[in-house]
Structure 1
Amino acid sequence: MLTVLSARAQTGVAEPALAPCDAVVQAFLQRWDISGASVAISKDGRLVYERGFGYANLARTEPMQPAHLLRVASISKPVTALAVMKLAEDGLLTLNHRVFGPEGYLRGSYYNEVIQDQRIYDITVRQLLEHTGGWNRNAGVDDLSSSDPIDFPLYVAKAMQASNPVADSVLVRFVLSRGLNFTPGSRFAYSNMGYLILGKVIEQVTGQSYARWVQQHIFAPAGVREAHLGRNLLADKQEREAEYFSKTTRESCYGTGQQVPMPYGAWNLEAMHAHGGWLFSARDLVRLVLAVDGSATRPDLLTAATIDTMTTSDEPNRRYAKGWLVNKDRSTWWHTGSLDGTASCVVRTAAGYTWAILLNGRALPNRFWHDLEELGWDCLRAADGRWPAYDLFAPEQNAVRLLAKPLGPTTARLSWHNGNGTGRLLVLQEKAPLTALPTDGTNYVADASFGRGATLGTGAVVTAGPDSAVTVRDLEPGRTYYARVVEYRQSAGTGEHPVYALDGNPVLEFRTPALPPVLARRSKAVRPAANASRRKRPGKATIQASRPAPAPARDAAAPASPTPMASPSSAPAPSYLARLLAAGREWLR
């Protein structure tokens, strides 16, 4: 039964030659009882595989899509490392500079006043990047089995006399007050707190919040839009964010005393920003790595020298460089991430392959992590080089400046400035913003008469193509409408598959004018007939095939039939407004 359900839930652009790759992922999910996965693979800078598997929500009713966002946990560390390396390249910090003390980047009293262990003043940026700063999360503190405060946020809040949920800055003060487990630089010990402190360094030297600087200076230049910091609670999740499966509960980090699921309120994700707080789609995580991979397929954000430094490991650990695990010859870089309800893996290879695998569940045995790290390699072996020539990356630039100008009670003119796709959908919905979004590989038939085009939830597609404006007809007077422009790319370069950019789309709310009072009263009598007429319209057309259907061939032996003249009965029916005005004039007589 699981096999049937999972197979039905596969989404994204299907490529028959890559069915063996699909089967490998399906087998992994079934073996480890994982509800959903998003997998993206690039070859030589082209996104050649983007697939969703299983389910994105706890009710198991929503299929996982390639555009879903998932928590990536510790894959946030490479993001922070990229930001630090970019700042170093731009001369805003140096890797060997001290972090704390009078000469450090974090020289203020807020952090330094709690320091008792003088060795803390010797910690450098480089040591934090390489996990040699002096903290060992397995050593324990204050009679607790762990010394990593992400494991006991309620205790930290009480010890530091802070409110719940505890802020990340309070976590930093806590670890500083408890001292180090070893001399900085003398050994390796994986440290979440080291990267949380790096986030504070980024804020100090840039004068911006960590998230804002990363979005502006790392993600935006790389064309990455599908990346956000996560929130603690299910009610606060991002648009298109998947939901996370876990059977474990713990006391809420909000201090309510309530037992809650680990992914939703037990972990204080909002205090993990720089070491474990990011959400990504698999495809945009691949896009980010391609922007720093050192290959010539796409422009890099960092110079070759900076990339070399970032991926060079030093003693005392030769496997972990600066934000990346690396193999002996540095031909492969990777990182994994893990939290209750989340497991992730991203890999870059010298052979031109990059992939990201994001799950909304996890297992704990070491064999699970071995299988997850091997899953991408298993996909490559299953594909056996049969990669398509297309590139499924969605447009990097959305349309902007969406405007609406009502032309009357039932008509409005909408316009916008195009992004860098080949086309865009304008979707219109009454009463509430659009929540159902287009899916890659699906074409949608548009109609400027509202309600006649393809439907997305309760919204309707009113235009699809290269235009930058549309006049929408058959709206209801005095009603509120919500518009959203979705940029897409569909060309020979995408194999004629439409691929949609779903993050940061321009949205707009507008209201049609009400009818004059006399016509409004009269409209109550004619509206039932108008609604009945609308119900008789053709069904909403959604074409599932990505490639356009070929035009039917005309029989060369048969002459073309002359176009008949339109009879009076075939004249277009008067519009709703025209019928309403005519009825009003008749009533006034």
Structure 2
Amino acid sequence: MENASAASSEDTWIDTLSNASSDYVPLQPMEREIEHFMAKWDIKGMSLAMSRNDSLLYAKGFGWADMEMGKTMEANSIMRIASASKLVTASAIMKLVEQRRLTLHSLVFGEQGILNSRDFTDAIHDPRVREITVEDLLKHQGGFTLGAGDPMFNTVELKKAKQLTEAPSNQDLVKIVLGRRLGFHPGKGRRYSNFGYMLLSLVIEKVSGQGYWDFVSNNILEPAGAYGFMPATNYYDERNLREVKYYSPDAELVEDFNTPSKMVDRCYGGANINALMGAGGWCASAASLCRLVASIDGNPGVPDVLTSSSVNLMTAHEDDEKVCLGWTESDVNGKWSRSGTLSSAHALIERFPDGECWVITMNTGVWTGFRFTRDMSRLIERLRCRYSNQMPSRNLW
């Protein structure tokens, strides 16, 4: 059964956006380059959107949304955006900062922290946990490492180690991780942490008094006009309206994260994608991601949902570290990038100093990690160089 999105509404631009909206003869050579890229990497389906100065100039899907059902990828097809979800979560945190409901220096744990329930406080093994701030989590500087694996993706192993009969809830997962030592002093190192951004999702819930998905939809996505964002589901028969089918890079079956001895396609049950929450749990179209960026970029074309101060904080360049809030990196020239990778999907957002934003989403996993993300980035650079000046002057929003 397909589910409708609470963040989507009728009669919006996403409902009428289609591949036909971007049929434009001068861009046919660009589309052939995209199809060649897909063939090279055996990508089943891909979507590309491009905006300039907060106007959507191009949005189109290529290949299959669901090959077995004969459904082609459309401009408004949605798919898992993996860690690009962190940009959404960071925006929501900055909104709470603007509302003066927390600060970047607010403590997360301990009696004086935001997540100060007795269960969490009693679970703390390393006293340094009490020093973790909201900013530490935003910058992947909370002290959490992957020595015992990524707790957001090793549910099967955790269940066996803790002799659990079902997947731990996120609250249970927090207690498990708080029972370990940190890998470094908060704020004194940096290790990429999906767990840290899941914690930020719980922070949003505690401070706002709303569910994570609802707060983000009501305070960021809907005001931005970023329609079509939906919480990810775990199984094919739970998929959202307009959501694609996902394809693993191999045919290997893995144990279902919640059902012992049940073997499944890793795309559907290999991990609890919904439980990632703000770390990687959103689905969206490429055009919707463009719209989100347009609402947090400081450009007046689309009214921003954050203040210029928040935008500057999120994109500040910090020497060689390129550490920013929500974005993967912000370089010295003012280019902002956000990538996302799962075994079932990839996403890349690149926003350039001249006001252009290019977004790629795809429904097929590729086992090459950063190498593939670099290839996606090189594709955007080629397309931007060759076809940017051939984009039609219009606004599909």
Question: TM-score scaled by structure 2?
Answer: 0.91
Seen in structure 2, the aligned counterparts of structure 1 residues 79 and 384 have a Cα distance that, compared at 3 Å, is closer
Seen in structure 2, the aligned counterparts of structure 1 residues 38 and 66 have a Cα distance that, compared at 3 Å, is same
Q: Secondary structure at the match of 1:170?
A: helix
1:346 to 342, 346, 349: 349
1:360 aligns with 2:369: no
1:538-553 matched pairs, under 5 angstroms: none
AA of the residue aligned to 2:167: P
Map Cα deviations across residues 81-102 of structure 1 (whole Å, 9 max, x no partner). Answer: 0000111111010001110011
The match for 1:224 is: 226
Seen in structure 2, the aligned counterparts of structure 1 residues 91 and 302 have a Cα distance that, compared at 3 Å, is same
The match for 1:438 is: none
The match for 2:392 is: 388
Alpha-carbon separation, structure 1, partners of 2:53 and 2:73: 26
Map Cα deviations across residues 486-541 of structure 1 (whole Å, 9 max, x no partner). Answer: xxxxxxxxxxxxxxxxxxxxxxxxxxxxxxxxxxxxxxxxxxxxxxxxxxxxxxxx
Q: Secondary structure at the match of 1:111?
A: helix
Point out which structure has higher relative CO (alpha carbons under 8 A, 6+ apart): 2
Q: Secondary structure at the match of 2:175?
A: helix
Aligned 8 A contact 1:310 1:321 in 2: yes
What RMSD in Å do the two structures reach over aligned CA positions? 1.8
1:23 aligns with 2:18: no
Deviation at 1:384, TM superposition (A): 4.5
Seen in structure 2, the aligned counterparts of structure 1 residues 313 and 99 have a Cα distance that, compared at 3 Å, is farther
Aligned 8 A contact 1:218 1:301 in 2: yes
Q: Secondary structure at the match of 2:130?
A: helix
Seen in structure 2, the aligned counterparts of structure 1 residues 152 and 281 have a Cα distance that, compared at 3 Å, is same
Map Cα deviations across residues 246-268 of structure 1 (whole Å, 9 max, x no partner). Answer: 12321001123111111101111
1:472-483 matched pairs, under 5 angstroms: none
1:322 to 304, 325, 330: 325
1:285 aligns with 2:289: yes
The match for 1:155 is: 157
1:110-509 matched pairs, under 5 angstroms: 110-137=119-146, 140-141=147-148, 146=149, 148-160=150-162, 162-246=164-248, 247=250, 248-314=252-318, 318-329=321-332, 331-365=334-368, 366-393=370-397
Deviation at 1:310, TM superposition (A): 1.3
Aligned 8 A contact 1:12 1:65 in 2: no
AA of the residue aligned to 1:25: I
Deviation at 1:160, TM superposition (A): 4.8
Q: Secondary structure at the match of 2:243?
A: coil
Alpha-carbon separation, structure 2, partners of 1:261 and 1:110: 35
Aligned 8 A contact 2:92 2:216 in 1: yes
Q: Secondary structure at the match of 2:349?
A: strand
Aligned 8 A contact 2:48 2:361 in 1: yes
Identical residues among aligned pairs (%): 34
Seen in structure 2, the aligned counterparts of structure 1 residues 384 and 46 have a Cα distance that, compared at 3 Å, is closer
Deviation at 1:24, TM superposition (A): 2.0
Deviation at 1:343, TM superposition (A): 0.8
Seen in structure 2, the aligned counterparts of structure 1 residues 217 and 161 have a Cα distance that, compared at 3 Å, is farther
Q: Secondary structure at the match of 2:309?
A: helix
Seen in structure 2, the aligned counterparts of structure 1 residues 388 and 166 have a Cα distance that, compared at 3 Å, is same
Aligned 8 A contact 1:200 1:210 in 2: yes
The match for 1:541 is: none
Q: How many residues align?
A: 377
Deviation at 1:163, TM superposition (A): 4.8
Question: TM-score scaled by structure 1?
Answer: 0.62
Q: Secondary structure at the match of 1:31?
A: helix
The match for 1:84 is: 93
Aligned 8 A contact 2:233 2:274 in 1: yes
The runs of at least 4 consecutive aligned structure 1 residues that moved more than 3 Å come to: 157-163
Q: Secondary structure at the match of 2:71?
A: coil
Seen in structure 2, the aligned counterparts of structure 1 residues 129 and 177 have a Cα distance that, compared at 3 Å, is same
Deviation at 1:12, TM superposition (A): 5.0
Aligned 8 A contact 1:154 1:255 in 2: no
User: Which sections of structure 1, spanning at least 5 residues, go unmatched?
Assistant: 1-9, 394-589
Seen in structure 2, the aligned counterparts of structure 1 residues 176 and 297 have a Cα distance that, compared at 3 Å, is same
Aligned 8 A contact 1:43 1:354 in 2: yes
Map Cα deviations across residues 23-51 of structure 1 (whole Å, 9 max, x no partner). Answer: 22111101111010011101121111111
Seen in structure 2, the aligned counterparts of structure 1 residues 50 and 387 have a Cα distance that, compared at 3 Å, is same
Higher helix share: 2
Report the structure number with the largest CA radius of gyration: 1
